[in-house]
Copies of this chain bind each other. A is one copy, B any other.
């Protein structure tokens, strides 16, 4: 491309910073930069302030590792929750899904990631030591592994399950099977195979 058309340095820096966001390529980053600078400067200012504030004010809950302003988040501090159950999820979004099911009244631990042997995320990145310390508080009886049913989520569940069972804890995993409301004809074969293997009387 011609030299005359190099982006001005501050624009190039902004496009570069936006590209670091997950799922954002160079064309999207450029479109976002134009939008913020041309059509939504208040939005750009809001984003700057929100980022700065989130970086300074948010910490990790000392018990469940989710994002929190307080040392202990509201859910961990709630005495109505059943402290004998600990559900391990990958992200706060996954935790939201479980809460929305209204099927669980225990506590959580949020990994904020998962093992990714190929991606270079090992036991340290998911903070295995903290998970084990949390689960071994003497009150937790059952640990429910609710990581994703993907290759990486399964590896994570396997790895955590082994370590937790070795410490004498009861470890369970979310059931696999046919999703609620689905017509069998449209369910993939892998799911049906699991549903058959784990059929219940």
Contact = CB atoms under 8 A, between A and B. Distances in A.
Which one of A75, A78, A92 has the greatest number of beta carbons of chain B within 10 Å? A92
A184 interface: no
B112 A14 contact: no
A138 to B, nearest CB: 24
Copies per assembly: 2
A74 to B, nearest CB: 5
Contacts of A14: 50-51, 53-54
A190 interface: no
A30 B74 CA distance: 20
Given A4-B74, A99-B2, A53 B10 contact: yes
Contacts of A46: 13, 16-17, 20
Contacts of A112: 34, 38
A75 B10 contact: no
30 contacts: A1-B100, A4-B74, A8-B58, A8-B68, A8-B69, A8-B73, A10-B50, A11-B54, A11-B67, A13-B46, A14-B53, A14-B54, A17-B49, A18-B47, A18-B50, A20-B43, A20-B47, A21-B32, A21-B35, A21-B36, A23-B32, A30-B92, A30-B93, A31-B93, A34-B112, A36-B51, A37-B67, A41-B55, A47-B51, A48-B52
Interface of A: 1-2, 4-11, 13-14, 16-18, 20-23, 27-28, 30-41, 43-55, 57-58, 67-69, 73-75, 78, 91-93, 95-96, 99-100, 112-113
